[in-house]
Structure 1
Amino acid sequence: MSSESVSSIGSGEQLVGLLRVGKMEARAEHQSYKRYKSLYTFTSLVGCSLIVLIVVWCVEFRGGFAWKSNPKLQFNWHPLMMTIGLIFMFSQAMLIYRTGRGVTKRSLKILHGFIHLGAFVCSVFGLVAVFDFHNNSVPPKANLYTLHSWLGLICVIMFTLQLVGGFVTFMYPGLSREIRKISLPVHVAVGISLFVLSVCTAFMGLQEKAIFAIDDYASFSSESLLVNFTGLILALYATLVLYLVNNTEFKRTALPEEELALSGHTE
C-alpha cells in the first residue's frame, strides 16, 4: 500500500473522529440546555409565585394599593415594586445570557440592559412610595433610621452605578476589548453580590414590617404565616437563581458568527 493511501486513510479516520466528537459535544450541549430550561422554568414559576404572594398580602391583609391620597396604602407599592425590580427582574436579567442560547450576544446585551432599566424604574417607584408614606403620615415618620433602609438605599445606589457602568463599558460608547475582558468578571461578581444583598434586604424588610404592623404576629395568625411562607419562597427562589447563574454547565456557548468576529475573520 502506498504512503499516499495510508495518509488518506489516516486523514479519513481523523475526520470521522472529529465528527464523532462534534456530535457528542452537540448532544451534551443539547442535554445541558434541556436541563437548564426545565430548571429555569421552575425557577421563574417560583419567582412569579413570590410576586403573587406579595400582592395577596398587600390586598388581603394590608388594604390594597393607593398613592398620595392614602399614605398607608401607598406604602404597599414599596414591597411589591422592590420585589419585582430588585429581585425578579434583576435575576431574569442575570440569567438572560443563559436563557437566550440561540440569540446573538449583541441582542442579549440590549435585552439585558432593558431588563435592568425596568428593574431600576421599579426600584425608584418603590423608594418614592416608602418616602411619601413616611413624610405624609400623621405625624410624619422618620426616614432612613433602620438597617433595612440603609441597606436598601445602598442596593439602589449600587444598582444604578452598576447599570451606568455596564452601559458605558459594554454598550455605548463601549470600551476596548481588553478593558471589557478585564471588566466582565468584576461586572458579574458585583451583579451577583448585589442580588444577594437585595435578597437579604428583602428578608429584613419582610421581618421588619411583620413586627411593626402585625399585632398578633406571635400568635401564628394567617397574615404572620403568609409573611413567613413568603420569606421561604424568597429563599427558594434566590437559591435556584444562584445555582443557575454559577453552574458553568449552563454557560452560553458563543455562536459561530461570534467566534469569527472574535478571531478577526469576516465572511
Structure 2
Amino acid sequence: MRSMMIFYLFYFLCLCLSVACVVCVCVWNSQWRGGFAWDGSSREFNWHPVLMVTGLVVLYGNGAVLYRIPLTWAHSKLPWKILHAALMFLSLILSIVGLCAVFNVHNAGNIPNLYSLHSWIGIAATALFAFQWVAGFAGFLLPWTPLSMRKLLKPVHVWLGGSILILSIAASISGINEKLFFVLKGTTNGTQPYSSLPPEAVVANSLGVLIVAFGLIVLKILSTSEWQRPDGSEDRTYAVRTSRTKNCWIERCHPKCCVLLSSSLYYVMKVIEEQLLAKSHPPF
C-alpha cells in the first residue's frame, strides 16, 4: 500500500511537470519569439521546440509509464497496449513535424542542417524512436508473434525506451541553450545579453529544469521493480493456448499416425517373410 501511494505521488508529479513543460515552451515561443506560422520564417521555427518538447518528451514519457499505473493491472493488457502504441505514434508524428519545421526554416534561409551536436542527438533520438515503434508494433501487437520472440524483445524494448528518453532530454536542453545563445546577443539585435539573465532566459532555463525533472521522475517510475506491471494472464494464456493447439493437433493426428505406422510395419514384415520363404524354397 505504501509503495502504491509513493507511485501515485510520483505519477502526480509526472502529470504536473508534463503540463508545466508544455505551457512553458508555448509561453516562451509565443511571448518572446513572436508566435507561430508556417511560412519559412523564424515563426515557423517556433513550432520546432513546441512540438519536440510536447511529442518527444512529454507524450513519450507519459506513454512509457502507462503500464506502471496500478489501476490498469486488473484489466486486459491489450487495450493498454493499443493506447501505448497510439500515444507513441502521436509522439512520433509530432516529432517528425517538428523536424520538418526546422528543416524548412533552414532551407528557406540557406542555413546548414545537422551541423550541431544538438541536431545530431535529436536526429538520433527520433530515428531510434521510429525503429522502436515499428519493432514494438511487430513484436507486441501482431498476434502471430511467437511468445519466445516477445520475451526476447521485451528487455531490449524497455532499455531502448529509456535510452530514447535520455537522448530526448539531452537534445531538448542543448537546443534551449543553443537557441538562447543565438537570440540573446545583447546590443546587436536589441536584446539583453544572455549573461544578464533577462526574463526570456529565465523562462527558457526554467523550461530546461522542468524537462530534466520530468525525465528523472519518468526514469524513477520505469526503474522501480515494485511498480512494474505483474506478468498478466495474457502471456500465460497465449502460452497455454499455443501448447493446447499443439496437443490437440497431436491428439487428432495420433490415431492416423498409429494406423499408418501399423500398415507400414505390416508391409515391411510381409516383404521380409516373403524373402525368407523364397530363400528357404529356391525355384527349380
Offset at residue 61 of structure 1 (A): 0.5
Cα 1:142–1:201 change in 2 (3 A) is: same
Kindly indicate whether the alpha-carbon contact (under 8 Å) linking 1:134 and 1:143 is maintained by their aligned counterparts in 2. yes
What pairs with 1:129-140 in structure 2 (closer than 5 Å)?
Answer: 129-137=101-109, 140=110
Which residue of the partner structure matches residue 240 of structure 2? 264
Report the AA paired with residue 97 of structure 1.
Y
Task: Tell me the TM-score normalized by structure 2.
Answer: 0.78
**Letter of the 1:240 counterpart:** I
* CA 182–60 in structure 1, closer or farther in 2 if over 3 Å, else same: same
Change (3 A) 1:112 1:61: same
Give 2:136's aligned residue. Answer: 166
1:123 corresponds to: 95
2:170 is matched with which residue: 200, 207, 213? Answer: 200
| 1:52 paired to 2:29 | no
Please report how far the alpha carbon of residue 263 of structure 1 lies from its aligned counterpart in structure 2 after TM superposition.
6.1
Give the alignment of 1:99-114 within 5 angstroms.
99=69, 100-114=72-86
Equivalences for 1:16-165 in 2 at 5 Å? 28=1, 31-68=2-39, 71-99=41-69, 100-137=72-109, 140-165=110-135
Q: What secondary structure sits across from 2:65 in the alignment?
A: helix
Instruction: Percent identity, please.
Output: 31
Equivalent-residue separation in structure 2 for 1:235 and 1:124 (angstroms): 22
Tell me if the contact between 1:162 and 1:187 (Cα under 8 Å) persists in the aligned partners. yes
Q: Is the 8 A contact 1:168 1:174 kept in 2?
A: no
| RMSD over equivalenced CA pairs, Å | 1.7
Structure 1 position 34, deviation (Å):
3.1
Q: Structure 1's 225 and 261: CA in aligned 2 closer, same or farther, altered over 3 A?
A: same
CA distance in 2, matches of 1:223, 1:134: 23
The aligned counterpart of 1:11 is: none
The change in CA–CA distance for 1:67 and 1:211 in structure 2 (over 3 A counts) is same
Query: TM-score scaled by structure 1?
Result: 0.83
Match in the other structure for 2:226: 249
Letter in 2 for 1:191: G
CA distance in 1, matches of 2:91, 2:124: 15
Query: How many corresponding residue pairs?
Result: 233
Asked whether the equivalents of residues 14 and 214 of structure 2 are also in contact (C-alpha less than 8 Å), the reply is yes
Residue by residue over 1:133-165, the C-alpha shift from the partner in whole angstroms, topping out at 9 and shown as x without a partner, is 11112xx21111111111111111111011111
- Asked if the contact 1:151–1:201 (Cα under 8 Å) also holds between the matched residues in 2, the reply is yes
Aligned mates of 1:214, 1:79 — CA distance in 2: 17
Q: Which has the larger radius of gyration?
A: 2
- TM-superposed deviation, 1:250: 1.0
- Listed as ranges, the gaps of 5+ residues in structure 1 are 1-27
- Distance in 2 (CA, whole Å) between partners of 1:88 and 1:239 is 12
Shift of residue 170 of structure 1? 1.1
Looking at structure 1, the residues matched to 28 and 137 of structure 2 have their Cα atoms a distance apart, in angstroms, of 36
Per-residue deviation, 1:252: 1.5
Distance 2:145 2:28 in 1: 45
After TM superposition, give the deviation of residue 260 of structure 1 in Å. Answer: 5.7
Match of 1:225 in 2: 202
Amino acid at match of 1:217: Y
